[in-house]
Amino acid sequence: MAKTKKTKSVKQETPAQRLSGIIKSCRQIMRKDKGMNGDADRLPMLTWIMFLKFLDDNEQMQEVNAQLEGKKYKPAIESPYRWRDWAKDTNLTGDDLLNFISNEKVTLSDGKERTGLFYYLRSLQSESGTERKDVIATAFKGISNRMINGYLLRDVVNKIDGIHFTNNEEINTLSHLYESILKEMRDASGDAGEFYTPRPVVRFMVEMLAPKIGETVLDPASGTGGFLVEAFDYLKKQAKTVEQRQTLQRNSIVGGEPKSLPFLLCQMNLLLHGLEYPNIDSGNSLRFPLKDIGDSERVDVILTNPPFGGEEERGILNNFPNDKRTAETALLFLQLIMRKLKRKKPNSDGGRAAVVVPNSTLAGNGITGRILKQLISDFNLHTVVRLGEGVFAPYTDIPSNLIFFDTTKKTDTVWFYEVPIPKGKKKYSKSKPLKSDELEKVKKWWNKREESENSWSVKVAELLQSEDEKIDLDLRNPNKVDPYENLDANLLITKVREAITQNLALITQIQNEISNSLTVKTVSLSTAIEESTDSVEVNPTVMYNFAGVYGFGKGLFKREPLSGSNTSYKSFHRLHKDEIVISKVKGWEGAIALITEEFDGLYLSSQYPTFKAKEGVNIKYIAEYCKHPRVWQELLDKSKGIGARRNSISVDTFLSLKIPLPELEEQDKIVDALEKLSELKRKQSELNKSLELLTPAILETAFNSKPVEEVEV
């Protein structure tokens, strides 16, 4: 009887995986097009195509709802320019598709000459000037089709047609995918940096202002909408009733962005997060005379990172008071923000703002001084959070600040909090960015303020004392410890002597641990450990806290979190404490490490299998032995691949290694000796630091000695 061949069960793709696959496929297709120059071209292209599909799906849904209610529905886009008309026509491809999209006039398959798609979209206009037609027209004024191969463009359109913007789960997934796309665009284009603010900074500012349902949140320099999206998501959690949800949709989120590309990116970002009709002004927020802004145009909350370092044209400057006209854009926006905040009244607490500003904005005389004096005299500037260098890298290394003020009263005291750069970093960078947990201490301090090594306060009276009307908020931290201050040579010498004594004692203990002869047998590594890899399916909507493995036995390190939508891997490996992890690619170079509690629950790619100890084995002994260069050389000899940097190590290869394995008690002694050695190295490092300080300490002691009376010779 013939054997029945077993069919491999096909795992059903999740919506998140399907959507992630669509986006990746589109980008791969675009890479083949010679008209596209990197992600800076591909991602805006992907956005406008998705935008048109989103609009048509939304309009079809609105049409159905209108029919159910017995009402007429007038779409923003008419036939044959709706997605369902041209995008679903698979015969419209090649040069015909390119011409339909980009040309001013085009003849379609019905033989009639019509306006091309982009020219039509740019011509849309409503009677009020504030409807969706106007949003579409504004978005497409600065957009062009960069693909030159109409057949590849057809492939992309067909892929995007597979997205269902009427499905809430798909929209939610796409919102996460889109955020990762925006981040990639920031990395691909220097120009994108001017309207991008790191997510930890955005979230912190929103949480500290804590907008409420019924309040209006404004970002007059919206960029891609990071602040508005975060504020919308924050408010969405509060919307429990139908009325609250209507308020959230209609009156809560307002922005301004004059550039076509970020305007479109912002619209798409907000639409995907659930704001049905984003209220984003497409003009320059500075274009109105400041004195004409009255109570009806004021808002409760302003969150923004205005452009700085730029200059505005003379016509814009005329909108500001004569004595406060400046070419510095950041100072113009600061004046606008002060003007746009609601004033405190019997039935209103007034408005509040959080603004990103560079150090240069915080100090000056003349025009700068007058603007800052208005800020502290007419408003309550209660907090300045000082960020380290490189938070906005790679676009600028200029140190920046977050200023928080409101209209509750005049400033009495300004509190400063300096966010310290973590030990081991000189500054932040694109590869080593500011992380959310680094702002947790500021959050805890926020409502229980007291002076510390990182925080201090200044009375406003001190800021107004300068004779030349200079206002200086760019203040150094007076509480920061100076390592060279108050050095005492005698105390340091005592400390050095004690450290040397302790180190000698440790050396003796280590010697005692290894003095006895050991009973050792040579076994395969598979006798001592077994694979324990915890494989997790990648979810595109999840951010994964990632680790890395240093070479040469130096252990694990933390990487920047990685979005599941931003990887080609189908699965990740989750790390567990007291196991060993090895890099298949660089294990021969010592990329093998013990997983400590600090890295428990973090992730690595599927190129990093993990292993646990069998009974009678101390996993730390195995980890320490794998730091031996002899192990690395043996792995190199057994590895496969072409070229020294491509040698690959399989699980079986790793487990086939021969190792000396003493009894468990002896393993423990060896581990204990090696741990004491690590402690000795740490203490020796501290001793070296003390020795480095000894020279300036001796000099300080000499300088501070009482002077000897001069003797006449």
Written as one string, the DSSP assignment of 388-445 is PTTTTTTT----EEEEEEESSS--SEEEEEE-PPPTT-SS--SSS---GGGGHHHHHH
For residue 522, give both structure tokens.
């040579």
CA distance readout (Å), 649 to 106, 545, 574, 581, 637: 59, 25, 20, 13, 10
**Of 55, 54, 38, 261, which Cα lies nearest the Cα of 144?**
261
* Beta-bridge partner residues of 386: 401, 418
CA distance readout (Å), 419 to 214, 384, 414: 32, 11, 16
Least confident stretch, 188-192, 216-220, 372-376? 188-192
359 phi/psi in degrees, rounded to 5: -55, -40
Q: How far apart are the first and last CA of the chain?
A: 122
CA distance readout (Å), 442 to 438, 448, 449, 478, 590: 8, 10, 10, 18, 39
CA distance readout (Å), 619 to 271, 510, 596, 666: 51, 20, 11, 13
- Of 701 and 412, the structure prediction assigns the larger pLDDT to 412
* Beta-bridge partner residues of 471: 364
pLDDT given for residue 698 in this prediction: 76
Asked if residues 343 and 407 have their Cβ atoms less than 8 Å apart, the reply is: yes
Q: How far is 95 from 307, CA to CA, in rounded Å?
A: 40
- Of 598 and 641, the structure prediction assigns the larger pLDDT to 598
Q: How far is 268 from 75, CA to CA, in rounded Å?
A: 19
CA distance readout (Å), 631 to 248, 355, 513: 62, 55, 23
Asked if residues 412 and 460 have their Cβ atoms less than 8 Å apart, the reply is: yes
Neighbour count for residue 180 (Cβ, 10 Å): 19
**Of 457, 485, 484, 460, which Cα lies nearest the Cα of 471?**
460
Q: How far is 656 from 569, CA to CA, in rounded Å?
A: 27
Beta strand 471-472 with 279-281 is: unpaired
Q: Length of the chain, please?
A: 713
* Confidence label for 518 from pLDDT (cuts 50, 70 and 90): low
pLDDT given for residue 712 in this prediction: 47
Task: Give the mean pLDDT of 88-103.
Answer: 94
pLDDT given for residue 644 in this prediction: 47
DSSP, residue by residue, 621-661: HHHHHTTSHHHHHHHHHH-BSSSGGG-B--HHHHHT-EEEE
pLDDT given for residue 214 in this prediction: 94
Q: Is the pLDDT of residue 713 over 60?
A: no
Q: How far is 360 from 669, CA to CA, in rounded Å?
A: 59
Q: How far is 131 from 75, CA to CA, in rounded Å?
A: 11
pLDDT given for residue 604 in this prediction: 95
* Confidence label for 93 from pLDDT (cuts 50, 70 and 90): very high
Please give, one letter per residue, the 3-state secondary structure of 338-372: HHHECCCECCECCCEEEEEEEHHHHEECHHHHHHH
- Burial profile 69-90: b = 16 or more Cβ within 10 angstroms, e = fewer: eeeeeebbbeebbbbeebbebe
Average pLDDT over all residues of the chain: 86
385 phi/psi in degrees, rounded to 5: -95, 120
Q: How far is 538 from 75, CA to CA, in rounded Å?
A: 39
Q: Is the pLDDT of residue 397 over 50?
A: yes
Listed in sequence order, the residues at least 6 apart from 150 whose beta carbon sits closer than 8 Å to its beta carbon are: 93, 94, 95, 96, 97, 98
Please give, one letter per residue, the 3-state secondary structure of 158-191: HHHCCCCCCCHHHHHHHHHHHHHHHHHHHHHCHH
**Of 65, 91, 68, 87, which Cα lies nearest the Cα of 77?**
87
- Of 615 and 1, the structure prediction assigns the larger pLDDT to 615
With H, G, I as helix, E, B as strand and everything else as coil, classify residue 110.
Answer: coil
pLDDT given for residue 176 in this prediction: 78
Question: Among residues of the chain, what percentage have pLDDT more than 90?
Answer: 50
Q: How far is 628 from 298, CA to CA, in rounded Å?
A: 68
Cα 390 to chain centroid distance, Å, stands at 13
Cα 403 to chain centroid distance, Å, stands at 20
pLDDT given for residue 188 in this prediction: 58
pLDDT given for residue 609 in this prediction: 96
Q: How far is 440 from 417, CA to CA, in rounded Å?
A: 12
pLDDT given for residue 314 in this prediction: 77
* Confidence label for 583 from pLDDT (cuts 50, 70 and 90): very high
Q: Is the pLDDT of residue 643 over 60?
A: no
With H, G, I as helix, E, B as strand and everything else as coil, classify residue 150.
Answer: helix
- The residue whose two tokens read 């294990």 is 587
pLDDT given for residue 402 in this prediction: 97
DSSP, residue by residue, 512-556: HHHSS---EEEEEHHHHEEE--EEEE--TT-EE-BEEE-STT--E
* Confidence label for 357 from pLDDT (cuts 50, 70 and 90): very high
Least confident stretch, 325-339, 510-524, 658-672? 510-524
Radius of gyration for the chain, computed over Cα atoms and rounded to the nearest angstrom: 32
- Of 167 and 456, the structure prediction assigns the larger pLDDT to 456
* Confidence label for 711 from pLDDT (cuts 50, 70 and 90): very low
Contacts 24+ apart (CB under 8 A), 479-488: 479/451, 479/452, 479/453, 479/454, 479/455, 480/418, 480/453, 481/453, 483/693, 484/693, 484/696, 484/700, 486/700, 487/693, 487/696, 487/697, 487/700, 487/701, 488/697, 488/700, 488/701
- Of 511 and 326, the structure prediction assigns the larger pLDDT to 326
pLDDT given for residue 708 in this prediction: 44
* Beta-bridge partner residues of 167: none
* Confidence label for 367 from pLDDT (cuts 50, 70 and 90): very high
pLDDT digits 0-9 by tens, 690-704: 777 777 777 767 666
Asked if residues 361 and 308 have their Cβ atoms less than 8 Å apart, the reply is: yes
Q: Is the pLDDT of residue 385 over 70?
A: yes
- Please state at what angle helix 39-68 crosses helix 168-188, rounded to 10 degrees: 160
pTM (whole model) above 0.75: no
pLDDT given for residue 243 in this prediction: 94
pLDDT digits 0-9 by tens, 294-318: 999 999 999 999 987 667 777 899 9
